[in-house]
Structure 1
Amino acid sequence: MVEKIPLLLLPGTLCDDRLWQFQIQGLEDEVNITVGELSKHDSIEALADEILSKMPDKFAVAGLSFGGMVALEIVRKAPERVLKLALLDTNPFPPKEEQISNWNSFLDMIQTQRFGEIVKDYLLPVLIHPDKQSNDELVETIFKMADTMGEEGYINQLRALKKRVDQTTVLPFITCPTLVIVGRQDIVCPIELSKYMADTIPNASLKIVEDSGHLTTMEQPEVVYELLKEWITKPKVEF
């Protein structure tokens, strides 16, 4: 029997395994899937350390947005352990002052019991394609993931985002097969960021998902599933 590749899936902020639900259902016969929990620490470095302590010696990793940042930190800390890498809708650059200001505002809103307002009025409008805003099932799942994460988890993630370092320095040294995926209409992590990563990482491939915003795995689940399936199964790797 051929041993299955361990695959680590890392969600974005305020997301959990439901972000990857369609891909998990399609890939679970091909690989051994673990979904990382990214809300217990307030630094990307600490999150990467905890994940590395729990994963097998070698594994593949796919991360979306915040999860992609943690994936890059995992590669930086333990490149020899990462068999394959997929970065979805990810920003490798350090935060801008405007972003930090926005996150500080969100932290203030949480302190005044306005957590739900952040998701509804500030995040949802930019997370998904305008055509998907009326998809009640998709929107409800986004709200449910945020509710499950809760205020404490989001505070940790915001603090981690604020102090994240420049991860572009690791890109030229990534040697494992790398897939970069981005939604054509991603506002949160614009397409130029993914193009930069694909150009900088040796032998990386870029796939642009049409009619999708930031949450590509949920907005175009079939397309992303097919991309990830090809990435994780071809070519075969020894581990």
Structure 2
Amino acid sequence: MAETLVLVPGLACTARLFEAQIDALSSSRNIVVADHTKDDSISGIAARLLKNAPERFSLAGLSMGGYVALEVMRQAPERVQRLALLDTSARPDTSEASQDRERLIAIAQAGRFEDVFPMAWARLVHPDRQSDKALQEVVFGMMRETGPEAYARQQRAIMGRADSRPLLPGIEIPTLVLVGEGDVITPPEIAREMAEMIEWASLVVIPESGHTSTLEQPERVAHALKLWLEEG
């Protein structure tokens, strides 16, 4: 039976976030993209993922998807064969970040969801990609597909996430920690902190990439994931 890889997208992202990696990796494994739009807690999203996943699987999440992946490791670590944490953090939300999320939720729920788009874009991508209209349309298209209601649920889930740092030393499976070198949301020092706390972790820093590494440097990320999947 082919191995299953479960992918968990980030906030206001869809399967398009991993489109290039799915194309590169799907020939030899089953790939499933988890639904992270229906629950307003990270624990609820993780429980839904586990309900729909096979008994054993590899797991990769980007940003919010990484928060979900760590919660899966809290709920059912014995079911995960390999773990990849992409452009994410094990830390809980700060009070400042939560206040900003509340502000964005209010804008979205006031019927001005598209006003959120440029605010997100400014921090999502590497400075060299700020004028990349094709990439911008992919990001904005995913946000439109997500919609304001699911976006609000996701933001509330992120605000309520647990501190996963105490969990990290107990992770004893091949783990990839990957981050864009220009990620300002979850910067390389946050990735390095996680990698240093997980015994079997490999740290990969992707050059010329911001927070959306799978879109900004798709081939480099696919290569890193391929090497991770081929580990023992």
Instruction: Give the TM-score normalised by the residue count of structure 1.
Output: 0.95
Please name the residue that 1:70 is paired with.
68
For 2:170, the aligned partner's letter is F
The alpha carbon displacement at 1:55 in A equals: 0.5
For 2:162, the aligned partner's letter is V
Q: Does 1:185 align with 2:182?
A: yes
Q: Equivalents in 2 of 1:11, 1:105: separation in Å? A: 22
Q: Equivalents in 2 of 1:172, 1:93: separation in Å? A: 14
Q: Which moved more, 1:63-72 or 1:104-113?
A: 104-113
Q: Does 1:158 align with 2:126?
A: no
**For 1:32, which of 21, 30, 33 is the aligned residue?**
30
The alpha carbon displacement at 1:37 in A equals: 1.2
Matched position secondary structure for 2:27: coil
Q: Equivalents in 1 of 2:201, 2:89: separation in Å? A: 16
Matched position secondary structure for 2:139: helix
**For 1:170, which of 160, 167, 171 is the aligned residue?**
167
Q: Equivalents in 2 of 1:4, 1:179: separation in Å? A: 21
Q: Equivalents in 1 of 2:41, 2:142: separation in Å? A: 21
5 Å matches for 1:62-211? 62-120=60-118, 122-211=119-208
For 2:152, the aligned partner's letter is I
Q: Does 1:232 align with 2:229?
A: yes
Instruction: Give the TM-score normalised by the residue count of structure 2.
Output: 0.98
Q: Equivalents in 2 of 1:46, 1:82: separation in Å? A: 18
Q: Equivalents in 2 of 1:111, 1:24: separation in Å? A: 33
Q: Does 1:215 align with 2:206?
A: no
Cα deviations across residues 161-185 of structure 1 (Å, max 9, x unaligned)?
1111111111010011100000000
Q: Is the 8 Å Cα contact of residues 46 and 71 (structure 2) preserved in structure 1?
A: yes
Q: Equivalents in 1 of 2:105, 2:9: separation in Å? A: 21
Cα deviations across residues 29-58 of structure 1 (Å, max 9, x unaligned)?
121100011110000000000110111000
Q: Equivalents in 2 of 1:68, 1:178: separation in Å? A: 12
Q: Which runs of 4+ in 1 moved over 2 A?
A: none
The alpha carbon displacement at 1:146 in A equals: 0.2
The alpha carbon displacement at 1:234 in A equals: 2.6
| Gaps in structure 2 of 5+ consecutive residues | none
The alpha carbon displacement at 1:112 in A equals: 1.9
The alpha carbon displacement at 1:152 in A equals: 0.7
Please name the residue that 2:6 is paired with.
8
For 2:80, the aligned partner's letter is V
Please name the residue that 1:60 is paired with.
58
Q: Equivalents in 2 of 1:116, 1:20: separation in Å? A: 23
The alpha carbon displacement at 1:111 in A equals: 2.5
| Gaps in structure 1 of 5+ consecutive residues | none
Number of residue pairs the alignment of both structures matches: 232
Q: Equivalents in 2 of 1:183, 1:194: separation in Å? A: 10
